[in-house]
Structure 1
Amino acid sequence: MPSLPQFNPLRLRSYIFRLPLATRLLVTAIVGLWIAAIPFPWLRELGSLSPDKFDLTQMHRLNLFPLTHFGFFHMFFDVFAITPLLERFEAEFGTIVTLSLFTGPFGLLPGGLYLLLEKFILRGNTAVMGSSVWVFLLLASEAMKTQKANPNFSIGPYKIPTWTTPLILVLMTSFLVPNVSLLGHLCGAAIGYVWATGYIKFLVPHEKILRWVETKLNLLGRLPHYVSVDQKTYGRYGVLPTAVPLGSVAREPRSPDVGQRLGP
C-alpha cells in the first residue's frame, strides 16, 4: 500500500528562507494587510475594487485589491497558490521588474478591465478582492510558454490545447468554490496571455536602465535575496561569495583525474 507523503517542517522552513526578495515583500504585504484588517475591518472596504465606488480619487483600489482578502482561508489559499508562481516569475525577470509590475500594471490592467466589463457591459456592481487575479495571470503566462514545447495534452481520446489550461481552472474554481469572481479571474488570465505574447513588455524599463540602477545602488551587495535582472552575467542571486583566498587555487596540486560534469 503506497505511503502518503509526510509533512516535513524543515523543508518548509528551508523553502521559506530561500524565497527571493520581491516574493517575500508581496506575500508579507498580503498577510500583513489581512492581520491589520482584523482590528480595522474598514481596510477591506478601502482595498476592495467596487465599480460604483470607483472614480479618479479611488485609484488606490487598483493597487490594493490584489493584496486585500475577505478572511483567513481566502488569504491562506491565495498565498499558497501565488508564492511558487511569484518565485518563478522573479527568478526569470528579477526583483526590480517583479516589484514594478505587481505594484503597478499587474493590478491596474486586470482591475481596469474588470471595471470596464462589470460596470459598462454587464451593468453590475460586484466588489472583488484577492491575489487570485495574480494567480491566473501567472498561470496564463506559464501556459503560453509551455504551449511552445507541449502544444497539447491528452484526456482520453481528446487533445486539449495547453494554453487553455488556466481557463479550465477558472471554470472549475467558479463551480467548486463559492463566492469567487469568474469575471475577475478571466480578466487576470487575459492580461497574463497578453503579457506572454510580448505586447505589453514596454511597461518594463529597458534592461540597460535596470542594470545601471542595480550597479549604482549596489543592490546585489546591499539587499539579501535580491535577484539580478542580468541573469546572463550574475545568475539568479549575483556573484556568490567565496572563502578561498585569491591565488590559493593555483597553488593546490591538480588531480590527474578528469573532472566529473554536473548535469546532462
Structure 2
Amino acid sequence: MPSFTQFNPTRLRSYVFRLPLTTRLLLAAIVGLWIAAIPFPWIREAAALAPDKFDLTQMHRLNLFPLTHLGFFHMFFNIIAITPLLERFESEFGTIVTLSLFTGPFGLLPGGLYLILEKFILRGNTAVVGSSVWFFLLLSSEAIKTSKQNPSFNIGPYKIPTWTTPLFLILLTSALIPYVSFLGHLSGAAIGYLWGLGYIKFLVPHEKILRWVETKLNLLGRLPHYVSVDQKTYGRYGVLPTAGAGGAGGIPLVEEAELEEGLGVRGGEVGDGRGRRSGV
C-alpha cells in the first residue's frame, strides 16, 4: 500500500476525470442536495427516511434519503467511502444498470427493510439519511464475490468467513461512532448480500434489451464516460476504452448530533421527540 508521501495528485485527478457517468451523476446529486440544504434546511427534513412520517404519499423519501446528508463532513466522508465501490460497480455492470438500480431498487429495498425493522419490529422512530447505506450494500456484494475465491482468512488461530467482513465493520462503527444507524447499515448489507448471491438479479432487464436500447439511442456515441453493458465488444467506456483503478475500501459515516431548531430537531430528536436522526 503506497504511503502518504507517495501520494500523487496527478493520478488522483486522472482517476476523478475517468469516473463513469452514473457515478458522476450520483456524486453530483449528493453535493447538489447538500448545497441546496444550506439556504433551505427543510430539504433534509423532507428527504429523511422517518418511520412516523412515511406513507404512500412519501415514497420520494426512499429515493432521496441516500443522497441527503446532515452536514459537510457527513457528506464528504460518505463520498470518499462510496466512490471507489460505485465506480467499480458501474464498470462491471454498465451505466444503464447502475442508474436504474441506484435510482430505484437500491433505495427502495434497503429503505423498506429499515422501515419494517424500525417501525414494526423495534417500534422506534429514528429517521435516517446518508449514502453509507450504499457503502455497506456494495461492500457486502463485494464480500460475496471475494468469498468465492477466498472463502476465509485467518486472524490468529481463528478462521473468519470472508463474507462476514461487512458485519464486523457494522458492529465496529456502531460501537465506536455515535449516532450511526445500525439498522440502516444492516439493511444495506442485507440487500448487498442478496445481490451478490444473485437472488435479486431479476431486477435488471435482460442484457439483450439493454444492448438494443444502447444501439437504438446511440448512447455510446452521445454520452461521454458511458459504460456499455456489452464491455467485451465496446470496452469499459464504450467508444473510448480505458482502464481505471477502483478500490473497495470505505469509511463509515457518522451523523451530526443536532439539527437546527427550525427543523423541529434538537439534541438529535426528530418529530415527537421519540426518535433520533441518524446518519447511514
TM-score of the pair, normalised by structure 1: 0.89
Change (3 A) 1:3 1:190: closer
Partner of residue 18, structure 2: 18
Matching of residue 113 in structure 1 with residue 113 in structure 2? yes
Q: What are the Cα deviations for residues 88-107 of structure 1, in whole angstroms up to 9, with x where unaligned?
A: 00000000000000000000
Give the Cα separation in 1 of the matches to 2:165 and 2:106.
Answer: 20
Shift of 1:5: 2.7
Q: Give secondary structure in 2 for the equivalent of 1:160.
A: strand
Give the Cα separation in 2 of the matches to 1:204 and 1:15.
Answer: 28
Matching of residue 186 in structure 1 with residue 200 in structure 2? no
Structure 1 unmatched ranges of 5 or more: 242-264
Q: Give secondary structure in 2 for the equivalent of 1:159.
A: strand
Matched residue type, 2:115: L
Give the Cα separation in 2 of the matches to 1:191 and 1:94.
Answer: 19
User: Whose RCO is larger (CA < 8 A, sep 6+)?
Assistant: 2
Matched residue type, 1:75: M
Q: What are the Cα deviations for residues 69-115 of structure 1, in whole angstroms up to 9, with x where unaligned?
A: 01111100000000000000000000000000000000000000000
Superposition pairs for residues 12-161 of structure 1, below 5 Å? 12-161=12-161
Superposition pairs for residues 141-220 of structure 1, below 5 Å? 141-220=141-220
Give the Cα separation in 2 of the matches to 1:145 and 1:156.
Answer: 24
Shift of 1:3: 6.7
- Aligned partners of 2:133 and 2:189 also within 8 Å: yes
Give the Cα separation in 2 of the matches to 1:151 and 1:73.
Answer: 35
Q: Give secondary structure in 1 for the equivalent of 2:160.
A: strand
Give the Cα separation in 2 of the matches to 1:71 and 1:240.
Answer: 37
Instruction: Provide runs of 4+ in structure 1 moved above 3 Å.
Output: none
Give the Cα separation in 2 of the matches to 1:180 and 1:224.
Answer: 37
Say how many residue pairs are matched. 240
Give the Cα separation in 1 of the matches to 2:239 and 2:149.
Answer: 31
